Structure 1
Amino acid sequence: MVAQQSTFSRIAWPVLAWVVALIFFFPIFWMVLTSFKTDADAVKPENLLFFKPTLQNYLNMTENYDYWRFASNSVITSVFATIFTLLVSIPAAYAMAFNPSRNTKDVLMWMLSTKMLPAAAVLYPMTFLTKSLGLFDTHFAVIMVLSLINMPIVVWMLFTYFKEIPKDIIEAGKMDGVNTWGEIREILIPLAWGGIISTALLCFIFCWNEAYWTVRLTTTDAATLSKLIEGNRAPEGLFFGRLSAVSTAAVGPIVILGWFSQKQLVQGLTFGAVK
């Protein structure tokens, strides 16, 4: 009986894993497939799998929709938002992990509770504020918003990683005369480098994929790829061929980044899990 159960497990779990993987992969596969169809072929049932492929959607995207400007805006806002978030979150997580107070847990819960606030609830105040300050449709406004909405998660992750570092190492540094910034730069960051890198990668992915605020706080100058995707709507309906091409070009870089950095992501997300 034990041998039969073991054999069943060896077969059933891989099959189940493949089924789940295919379910998650199918929308991406369909999006890429549709990107090589014309808008007319994309809505014809007889052309679901058999059609004449074309690169016209990608040519239109680069020639008529200025894809590279939107892509550069996505890179600029995501990179600088990630850097700013880490610059604020690392000292904050350090203070909470190694110099906690009786209100530390309450502060962490309060920070996490801000993620429960519906974005639509603060849409008008944010729009009014950015327009009043002349920051609407600027990289600075988008970077600040992306940083603030991701900072609670980043602080929580870094706090978890830092708590796994023995406090005696930090105290030994203090005894050797290292100041606070020296402890962070010379002791904490090297020891928690894997966790910091994985947190930075996840923060970058969250910033890249953010659509709600990048669409509503930009028009042209700071518009990201989310704005380009949203622009493929018309009163006549959705242009599925062009929309799929733009979406593929938007998610492609982040999928490639995730593929090549999956080792660092797994190592960082499991940091401190094995004693």
Structure 2
Amino acid sequence: MPARRRSPARRKATAALITTLTWVLVLAFFFPVAWMVFTGFKTEAAAATSTPTIFTELSFDRFEAVMNRGFAIYLINSLTASVMSTLIVLALAIPAAYGLSIRPIVKWTDALFFFISTRFMPIAAAIIPIYLLLRNLGALDNINALAILYVGMNLPLAVWMMRSFFAEVPTEIIEAAQIDGAKFWTELVRVVLPIVMPGVAAVALICFIFAWNEYFLANLLTSTMARTTPPFLGSFVDGRGQFLAVLSAAATLAVLPVVIAGWLAQKRLVRGLAMGAIK
């Protein structure tokens, strides 16, 4: 008996329902961010009311107050640590993932397990040895030391992601390059990397976001010189209360670099995230 085909009206109704649910979910996730941005323009009195206020006086005074508290220094520290760690992660993860996928090393599964096993232990369990080591090296409150720690935090994830992207590269293209006499680095840089560049962009953005949002290490291992944006945002909540308007303004400024980076890489990001999904 042939399967019954759904009528066009039923298909349209299903599509409309899915579209509606999608927009509801999008608005549900976007509303807190939009409200945060809106609160950043309010006065502290309007932001602290128990009943949310929409029609109120708006100004840029809270953003000015954030900048007057030295926000630019924390922003530069976050950019330095995030960009530096992301570049180092890519420089290490690309050849490592290439060796684990296209040119597999001996016992490559053990190597992959070792990479991911470094994420099994909570960072809180290792904070005391890390703190003592940095103190003995004189590297506390040092942005370079913080960037190196972010490398160790993001490298296992980057290797696993890059390996799945490299596995999508047709072996015929690599074999043709080898027949033409391409050496290892020529094969990797000129032949393979252009194919997986969307995946590289996705890995770079994810590593950048993880480093940018990291709070635990930045809060415990820095104090003044290398303080980053997340601990700075926490300083707006103290014994005197919660300064919601100025905190919202600071959070709005803090998310702008990530939003801009995601917007610039959105085309490569979507394609890169889909590369390893279906083979």
Q: TM-score, normalised on structure 2?
A: 0.91
Q: Secondary structure of the equivalent of 1:222?
A: coil
- Aligned: 1:151 with 2:155: yes
**In structure 2, what is the equivalent of residue 130 of structure 1?**
134
Which residue of the other structure, out of 28, 32, 36, is the alignment partner of 1:27?
A: 32
Once the two structures are superposed, the pairs formed by residues 67-146 of structure 1 within 5 Å of their partners are 67-101=71-105, 103-146=107-150
Question: Runs ≥4 in structure 1, deviation > 6 angstroms?
Answer: none
Aligned-pair identity in percent equals 35
**In structure 2, what is the equivalent of residue 14 of structure 1?**
19
8 Å contact kept, 1:32–1:245: yes
Unaligned runs of 5+ in 2: none
Deviation at 1:102, TM superposition (A): 5.3
The verdict on how the C-alpha distance between 1:174 and 1:2 changes in structure 2, with shifts beyond 3 A counting, is closer
**In structure 2, what is the equivalent of residue 167 of structure 1?**
171
1:242-261 per-residue CA deviation (whole Å, 9 max, x = no partner) reads 11111111012211321232
8 Å contact kept, 1:215–1:230: no
1:180-206 per-residue CA deviation (whole Å, 9 max, x = no partner) reads 222222222122222112221222122
Supply the RMSD in Å over aligned alpha carbons. 1.9
**In structure 1, what is the equivalent of residue 49 of structure 2?**
44
1:108-140 per-residue CA deviation (whole Å, 9 max, x = no partner) reads 133223223212111211111111111111111
Deviation at 1:221, TM superposition (A): 1.0
The verdict on how the C-alpha distance between 1:138 and 1:10 changes in structure 2, with shifts beyond 3 A counting, is same
1:139-183 per-residue CA deviation (whole Å, 9 max, x = no partner) reads 111111111111111111110011111234333333433332222
8 Å contact kept, 2:201–2:265: no
Higher mean displacement: 124-133 or 165-174:
165-174
1:19-55 per-residue CA deviation (whole Å, 9 max, x = no partner) reads 1111111110121121112223222124532322232
Higher mean displacement: 79-88 or 221-230:
221-230
Unaligned runs of 5+ in 1: none
8 Å contact kept, 2:40–2:248: yes
- Partner amino acid for 2:76? S
Structure 1 CA distance, aligned partners of 2:194 and 2:267? 18
Which residue of the other structure, out of 177, 191, 196, is the alignment partner of 1:192?
A: 196
Structure 1 CA distance, aligned partners of 2:258 and 2:276? 26
The verdict on how the C-alpha distance between 1:227 and 1:272 changes in structure 2, with shifts beyond 3 A counting, is closer
Deviation at 1:220, TM superposition (A): 1.3
1:73-94 per-residue CA deviation (whole Å, 9 max, x = no partner) reads 1111111111100111011001
1:209-257 per-residue CA deviation (whole Å, 9 max, x = no partner) reads 2222222221111111112102112112221111111111101221132
Higher mean displacement: 1-10 or 125-134:
1-10
- Partner amino acid for 1:265? L
- Aligned: 1:223 with 2:219: no
Which residue of the other structure, out of 51, 54, 68, is the alignment partner of 2:59?
A: 54
Q: Secondary structure of the equivalent of 1:2?
A: coil
Higher mean displacement: 136-145 or 4-13:
4-13
Deviation at 1:273, TM superposition (A): 5.2
Higher mean displacement: 83-92 or 43-52:
43-52
- Aligned: 1:179 with 2:183: yes
**In structure 2, what is the equivalent of residue 213 of structure 1?**
217
